Structure 1
């Protein structure tokens, strides 16, 4: 495998930095990642919330499905899924999707500068099975419908402006989105066993009402060069978008997606892989593949949502597996960062860092009950690497 550049980024501060700002610094290393000792050390005993964490980290429950969010009158949604954080003055907001069908949508929790919950509210209603999504540089939330011929909805994390359906971004089984302010593109994953990887080029950056949907074209291998080609009919009818372009590369169950400094990473659950796309030189390769792990069992299985920290570490949540969030470091080490006990019928969703990088939010979609009505949303606080 050729060596690659994994550039470290600052996700602290503005959304532009979170999406690949100028504070990134380079470190070349080989791929794909292999098991090793993680930067945070071994996991300790389970805490009162059933979460195993490294030394120096603590957890708390933020919200539970069907229950009122503490300090508010708002009832938290079922099946919490993809999420993101937004700066709000000296505080912040965490947005979370609801992966139920019908009704879906998304909600938000608002925090003060000390982390105290100051509000909770609905930001999107009347949609279907909202799975993952993505944050835009202009501080909106792209909520994606994981259904056949599903849509992307652009919603307001503050709950002031009405959500808008973005038809130009295509109708397919949407999963996640990641914004690239350099190329002025939104990358999109598709949760199909023979799905594709897309990008949307808005006619005007910051306005998603019109633009061009393109699909990723490449060979059948796990590395090489790629090109983009326009999707003739983003409406997906009568021919689905993934079948409209000859040579479109197939991916087995596209899931999470994350952009930083000329790279975009996305996961495919069908083969437990993390892909890295180098947008500067139009090449792609594997950042992780559980079938290529040497010397024993793979620490990361059931790959799903993904996010990044200011150190350049990737944090990948498991759908099932060992109910872990694993870290992939710039040194090509993959290791568990946390594990949830007693929730084997669930999946971990929505990892996202607070603007200052000291708190990680995520959910257990079905909690201890194994039902969508049993979802639990957590916060982990501690000395994350910078």
Structure 2
């Protein structure tokens, strides 16, 4: 098969991380990623935080659930999940969802100065349930999805403002979101075993209060062409949104998604896959499948949150597995970037790069205790390639 052609991406300093170029596109078909040595070398022995990293990288803890964030008076939320970074002058902000249920969820933020020190922390969304994943917008808001059958996508404001539900984006078991500024749409994943992949077309780009919700239509294979069909009733009652579009393609547990350069990547945890939508030519294919790694063993299981670096590498976190973040390069090679030891009852969530691309933030949702009150949010620094 032909291989993907690609150019490295660049980071655009407009708040959230954005990309330009022609990353991972070109060939009509490509083999899913195969196991190979990582670009940073082998993992070293676990550090004081129990994290194995390549040589030259270090980890630190920036917040712990149920404890006051150092340097602030704010108590960090339980069950930290999806996250993202926003540029803030010479510093940045990291937002983090809370996957607590029964109205105890929401979103918190950490504000960092140019040295990477926390200078403030606060709550930016409260009284919601099971805020799992989400995504940034080009206008510097954070979309936080409720992982319940009647869940909303909430638009929140890291720089100040009251979060608001966006019912036009559908009521379903929301997971992640990814903004496509070229087509002026927001892609949305759904965490059920027969999920759809959606896109929301705002009536006015930059305003998510109204628009059209659509579901991807395609065959049953792992590659081919796709179209979109309109969801007539985004409220999802009495008919669930995923059952309103004839010919909608089903996915086994939609999780994270990431957009860059006319391409959308999204993960499905039920079958340990990373999917790739080539938006310029309306085709799809597999970027990773744990059953197609040959020779094995497959380095990535429990496929969950996903993000990208300025080099075009994809970083995919595990919910379970070996508590690893795997790295997929633009030339279809997969390796393990880091591993957390001693936290087998947890999952890795919220991977996101600082605007400069030299810090990777993420959480262990239940930490060493296995309880939502024991979450730990980390930062890894080092020579990430650009």
TM-score between both structures, scaled by the size of structure 2: 0.97
1:305 and 2:305 matched: yes
**2:136 maps to which residue?**
135
Other structure's SS at 2:93 match: strand
**2:249 maps to which residue?**
249
**1:120 maps to which residue?**
121
1:243-286 deviation per Cα after TM superposition (whole angstroms, max 9, x unaligned)? 01110000000000000010000000000000000000000000
Residues 123, 380 of structure 1: alpha-carbon distance in 2 compared, 3 angstrom cutoff: same
How many residues get paired?
384
- Following superposition, the deviation at residue 295 of structure 1 comes to 1.2
8 A contact 2:12–2:19 mirrored in 1: no
**2:360 maps to which residue?**
360
1:346 and 2:346 matched: yes
**2:266 maps to which residue?**
266
Other structure's SS at 1:291 match: helix
Other structure's SS at 1:13 match: coil
1:293-326 deviation per Cα after TM superposition (whole angstroms, max 9, x unaligned)? 1012100110000000011100000000000000
**1:153 maps to which residue?**
154
Alignment of 1:192-271 (within 5 A): 192-271=192-271
8 A contact 2:22–2:261 mirrored in 1: no
8 A contact 1:7–1:27 mirrored in 2: no
**2:287 maps to which residue?**
287
Other structure's SS at 1:113 match: coil
- Following superposition, the deviation at residue 96 of structure 1 comes to 0.1
CA distance in 1, matches of 2:347, 2:6: 28
- Which ranges of structure 2 fall in alignment gaps of 5 or more residues? none
- Following superposition, the deviation at residue 15 of structure 1 comes to 4.4
CA RMSD of aligned residues (A): 1.4
Alignment of 1:13-24 (within 5 A): 13-15=13-15, 18-22=17-21
Alignment of 1:369-380 (within 5 A): 369-380=369-380
8 A contact 1:84–1:350 mirrored in 2: yes
1:12-66 deviation per Cα after TM superposition (whole angstroms, max 9, x unaligned)? 52347x3333586868693200000010110000000000000100000010000
Residues 130, 229 of structure 1: alpha-carbon distance in 2 compared, 3 angstrom cutoff: same
8 A contact 1:177–1:188 mirrored in 2: yes
**1:327 maps to which residue?**
327
- Which ranges of structure 1 fall in alignment gaps of 5 or more residues? none
- Following superposition, the deviation at residue 10 of structure 1 comes to 1.9
**1:275 maps to which residue?**
275
**2:174 maps to which residue?**
174
- Following superposition, the deviation at residue 134 of structure 1 comes to 0.2
CA distance in 1, matches of 2:86, 2:291: 36
Other structure's SS at 2:226 match: strand
Mean CA deviation greater in 205-214 or 24-33: 24-33
- Following superposition, the deviation at residue 341 of structure 1 comes to 0.3
8 A contact 1:10–1:23 mirrored in 2: no
8 A contact 1:93–1:157 mirrored in 2: yes
- Following superposition, the deviation at residue 331 of structure 1 comes to 1.5
CA distance in 1, matches of 2:121, 2:198: 33
CA distance in 2, matches of 1:243, 1:72: 47
1:63 and 2:66 matched: no
**2:75 maps to which residue?**
75
8 A contact 1:63–1:69 mirrored in 2: yes
Other structure's SS at 1:44 match: coil
Other structure's SS at 2:337 match: strand
CA distance in 2, matches of 1:290, 1:26: 22
8 A contact 2:324–2:336 mirrored in 1: yes
Residues 174, 7 of structure 1: alpha-carbon distance in 2 compared, 3 angstrom cutoff: farther
CA distance in 1, matches of 2:5, 2:206: 29
TM-score between both structures, scaled by the size of structure 1: 0.97
Residues 318, 246 of structure 1: alpha-carbon distance in 2 compared, 3 angstrom cutoff: same
8 A contact 1:20–1:262 mirrored in 2: no
8 A contact 1:19–1:180 mirrored in 2: no
CA distance in 1, matches of 2:188, 2:2: 26
CA distance in 2, matches of 1:255, 1:15: 24
8 A contact 1:19–1:179 mirrored in 2: no
- Following superposition, the deviation at residue 9 of structure 1 comes to 1.7
Other structure's SS at 1:74 match: coil
**2:183 maps to which residue?**
183
8 A contact 1:343–1:370 mirrored in 2: yes
